[in-house]
Structure 1
């Protein structure tokens, strides 16, 4: 019966994973076969928690659902996984001796999204990325059995933080629509931009030069995260290096798409073209 329940849980994890088209799922094509199911098991947890955070009717309901998810995670690491995806996650935790902290950090970031909608400084935003993005990279390093020293962990964190920040600068208007502003308030004020002005810009779907200057500076700074993280690609198994190059390339392509519209992110959401995406995947597949 236990084997049957595990197989059923793994099928559910595959269903959740393969029903979402995201960069991490594209990257799974480059993974060794033995790692695909464990990857799906971890992804299903991340996706489910993310959906609880962003798909709930109210922040209060989201917090209650995330607390239940935390309780299920705690039980899973204690050897008492609830039925469903946590049964599959428990098998992966045991097989790879995964650490609990990255999973806790992710849930903590999801809870923070319900309580905190503004970030005063870049450092505050980076602390959020430390828990919302960096844990994913660290879990993948554990799945890959990479002997991650301090330098390797730092480079992984740089890549994940860069991806999160690039997404923020791409989605300023979308985030504003759900009440969130990830642009650091101190940087906006230094340029003479108030929160009311941001709302007016979004409403008018226009990015004035002063806001473009802020976005451009943030993009330039974000580029340095990819520069610092990319050397990790040469110090991990080849399949993982190809995946990391795919992510770094995707992050840089997002920044390039923002530049291509002259940083006018409030008028139109910058997109990485299908041709560019295909090129990134092809270069990863051939190891370039």
Structure 2
């Protein structure tokens, strides 16, 4: 690291304080691990932090799993640097450090397990830096922006916070065309909106409101409405409007499922239907996300998984039945 880019003592202090608030395994090691060690680190993080990710990997070709583990680990740690530290300046310092490590990764000098594993994924799948860097832009934005004027502003945030993930998945599976990217962006933005509408109360506790301010004024909803935790008729109307917007965005992205290979199509179907089920759960509560957080039942999750499995194997089952009849 050159003198021009080296952090000053105040920044180093903020970084040290920020690391102290996070798992010790997140810190930069003195010595870079081997690729095998780095992949094991990412796999452990992915499979112990997010059960839905673990379920999704059932449907991925085994050869791609290390790449998805590395991408997930990058996203998980990046998100935690922004959300789990509890101090804006410390988080920003850590995110800047993480950005420098991303640069080092592309320059061939990765040191953290995430970037050692990610470097091989980037090489094998020919992934540009932009989607990784865009995610850091979103996490930095979360530190300083807490309200969004219009839906276009919210979607502008999704362009950095959600859409890069879908593009990374497509790159990893061998797709890099703008047509598929646009459909993926619709799905990912819809998923982000579904999570926002599900977590209005949770986000408000962090002083974040993703409901567009223009729409809130239009329907007569204020921060005080959310703070009181009572879903007024005005709030019901607002959430119904936003849920329908997100549902239409999901529908725009669904054609992508028929434009990718079967393994990826299963994942896309699982996550798209899961996002739509979140919206259904909100609707079933009459759009009251303030008294309690709507969630998908275990039974519904199982049904979605079984639907995905049957969708994956149904063509083969049909082929087998046809052959049986022919015999």
TM-score, normalised on structure 1?
0.95
Could you tell me which residue of structure 2 aligns to residue 180 of structure 1? 208
- RMSD over equivalenced CA pairs, Å: 1.5
Q: 1:40 aligns with which of 54, 62, 69?
A: 69
Matches of 2:241 and 2:222, distance apart in 1: 18
- Structure 1 consecutive aligned stretches of length 4 or more whose deviation exceeds 6 Å: none
Q: Shift of residue 178 of structure 1?
A: 1.0
| Structure 1 residues 138-181: Cα deviation after superposition (integer angstroms, max 9, x where no partner) | 000011002x4322111100100000000000000000011111
Does structure 1 retain, via aligned residues, the 8 Å contact 2:33–2:112?
A: no
Matches of 2:61 and 2:101, distance apart in 1: 29
Structure number, greater radius of gyration = 2
Aligned residues: 282
Could you tell me which residue of structure 2 aligns to residue 155 of structure 1? 183
Could you tell me which residue of structure 1 aligns to residue 87 of structure 2? 58
Could you tell me which residue of structure 1 aligns to residue 266 of structure 2? 242
Could you tell me which residue of structure 2 aligns to residue 190 of structure 1? 218
| Structure 1 residues 110-129: Cα deviation after superposition (integer angstroms, max 9, x where no partner) | 00000001111100000000
Q: 2:54 aligns with which of 25, 28, 37?
A: 25
Does structure 1 retain, via aligned residues, the 8 Å contact 2:194–2:278?
A: yes
Gaps of 5+ in 2: 1-30, 313-327
Matches of 1:279 and 1:196, distance apart in 2: 38
| Structure 1 residues 214-272: Cα deviation after superposition (integer angstroms, max 9, x where no partner) | 00000001101111100110110100011100011001100000011100110111110
2:292 is the alignment partner of 1:263: no
Matches of 1:83 and 1:149, distance apart in 2: 31
TM-score, normalised on structure 2?
0.84
Does structure 2 retain, via aligned residues, the 8 Å contact 1:23–1:247?
A: no
Does structure 2 retain, via aligned residues, the 8 Å contact 1:134–1:161?
A: yes
Gaps of 5+ in 1: none
Matches of 1:283 and 1:196, distance apart in 2: 41
Matches of 2:148 and 2:33, distance apart in 1: 46
Matches of 1:240 and 1:83, distance apart in 2: 29
Matches of 1:210 and 1:219, distance apart in 2: 14
Map 1:132-147 to 2 at 5 A.
132-146=161-175
Q: 1:121 aligns with which of 136, 150, 153?
A: 150
Q: Shift of residue 209 of structure 1?
A: 0.7
